[in-house]
Amino acid sequence: MKRLIKLMLLTTLLFSSTVFAQEAHPYTAKAPKLDKQKIEALLANPEKLVVVDVRRPDELTAIGGFPVYLSIQSKDLEKYLAYIPKDRQLVTVSNHAGRAGKAADLLVEKGFNVTGAIGVQDYEAEGGVLTKIPVPAPKP
């Protein structure tokens, strides 16, 4: 019985810390955080859109993302602005849109047409399907 009570307390503690961690980092960017419906409407017209994923490569392979994207880590974004087209709508991507929101705000400041930020894990939680990218096997 004591083990069950300890297990219940541990489960409650873990759940509470997860909820607290999510609340500790609220979305604060000026760019709107996009929901599944808006994301899918944008993805329906890929010729008008550029998806800029600002996550690390290991996050892309572990979590997944969209089928076509421009991968520029958030720390390198300013260095590679010249490679981002200004004649299309942009959306930025990270896991829960925190980094994506900051990247979107930076791109707006630099004159880009940014529609909003996407959190791929939030998109997936709303029923969206992500593309999983397998890690290539090491060469012998």
3-class DSSP state for residue 74? helix
The neighbour count for residue 128, using CB atoms within 10 Å, is 18
Query: In this predicted structure, what is the pLDDT of residue 22?
Result: 46
Helices (H), 56-119: 57-63, 98-109
CATH T-level topology, domain 27-125: Oxidized Rhodanese; domain 1 (3.40.250)
pLDDT tens across 63-122, in order?
A: 999 988 999 999 999 999 999 999 999 999 999 999 999 999 999 999 999 999 999 999
pLDDT of residue 68: 86
Q: What is the gyration radius of the CA atoms in the chain, in angstroms?
A: 18
Please list, residue by residue across 83-105, b when 16 or more beta carbons sit within 10 angstroms of its beta carbon and e when fewer do. ebeeeebbbbbbbbbbbbbbbbb
Q: Note the pTM of the prediction, 2 decimals.
A: 0.79
First to last CA, the chain: 53
Please compute the mean of the pLDDT values over residues 15-39 and round it to a whole number.
Answer: 73
